[in-house]
Amino acid sequence: MPAAASAQAAYRATKPLYCCTTKALVPSKFKYEDLSFTFELYQNDGERQRRIHYSEYLEEWSEDEDEDVEEYEDYLSPTVLSNYAAPPHYVNPDAKFKENFIWCSTIRGDPTGVHALAPLVPEPEPLDRIARRTSVGIDTPVDDYRSEWCESYRMVVTATRDTDGKMCQIVDVVGRDRQGFKELDGDSMTGYRTFMVVPDEDDDESDNESEDARDNDDRGLSAWCFFGSNEYDRRIEEQLEEPGGDEKVDKAWDGMMNACQSLGALSELSIQWNNNSKLQIAKALGTLEWY
């Protein structure tokens, strides 16, 4: 909570990216191997409302056409929202809708990047399948050729160090001033955004909007942030394990499949550093405030 509150207060534009960190008065020392990284994914509540409205439309259509449509309860049900998703650990005051907490993973990383993956089913199969209970549905409306689907998601990454248990929120990709996720290459089913973690000493803070491009990421410590959904050419049924493992989980996926036109399964959240030196990454992160 203190790390999140500090990050919210420190959120600012830098040249050319965004940053949610504060420099410490006295830098701290630790090793990169001492760090774990917690990924949190939030979803704009407008997406949940859209799924429900579409389900209601299908129900009305089925009554007019005298056809049966399966009963639908969104996986973000009122009970789930009350117990887990709302409110999140802090709220973006500029958001039109609240943001619901939908996925989390804590892992170690190597200097080339940090990847939180939805585990595959343990049994060998002809095709790799994601375990239903470890993932969540991501609606990627490719049928409408609309690539801004990923703008509805927010990814927060918090680092924790073993030496003292202190935390520092290092990444917060949120749709602020059009700086949220964009679809990589337009049809990849992958959201992408570069984020400044530790600005260079010579970089001035700026409120001016700047183009987000990898060519501008060589100063300070920045991270290329990704969240990946379904494979473009595989149906969702081929990407999930067979039903039957958990009745509640199966019902949630059945509901999402009915309510989403182009459903995918969340497969990973990840960041890739612009520096592959463990020593230099740890040194840069040590200049930030930890709580």
Spatial neighbors of 186 by CB under 8 A, at least 6 apart, are 147
Residue 228, in any domain of the structure:
yes
Place of tokens 């067979």: 242
Distance (Å) of CA 166 to CA 30, 42, 49, 52, 115: 12, 23, 37, 40, 21
Confidence band (pLDDT; 50, 70, 90) for 189? confident
Reply yes or no on whether the pLDDT at 156 is more than 90: yes
Average pLDDT over residues 214-242: 80
Residue 290, in any domain of the structure:
no
Residue 166, in any domain of the structure:
yes
Average pLDDT over residues 37-48: 91
Query: What is the structure's pLDDT at 144?
Result: 57
Q: Which domain holds residue 117?
A: 2-285
Residue 291, in any domain of the structure:
no
Residue 120, in any domain of the structure:
yes
**Measured distance CA(156)–CA(5) in Å, rounded:** 13
Q: pTM of the predicted model, to two decimals?
A: 0.88
Reply yes or no on whether the pLDDT at 101 is more than 50: yes
Structural domains in the chain (count): 1
Average pLDDT over residues 172-201: 85
The whole-chain average pLDDT of the chain stands at 83
Query: What is the structure's pLDDT at 256?
Result: 85
Spatial neighbors of 30 by CB under 8 A, at least 6 apart, are 161, 163, 282, 286
Residue 52, in any domain of the structure:
yes
Cβ atoms of residues 156 and 20 within 8 Å? no
Average pLDDT over residues 21-29: 93
Reply yes or no on whether the pLDDT at 12 is more than 80: yes
Cβ atoms of residues 130 and 239 within 8 Å? yes
**Measured distance CA(243)–CA(248) in Å, rounded:** 10
Query: What is the structure's pLDDT at 218?
Result: 60
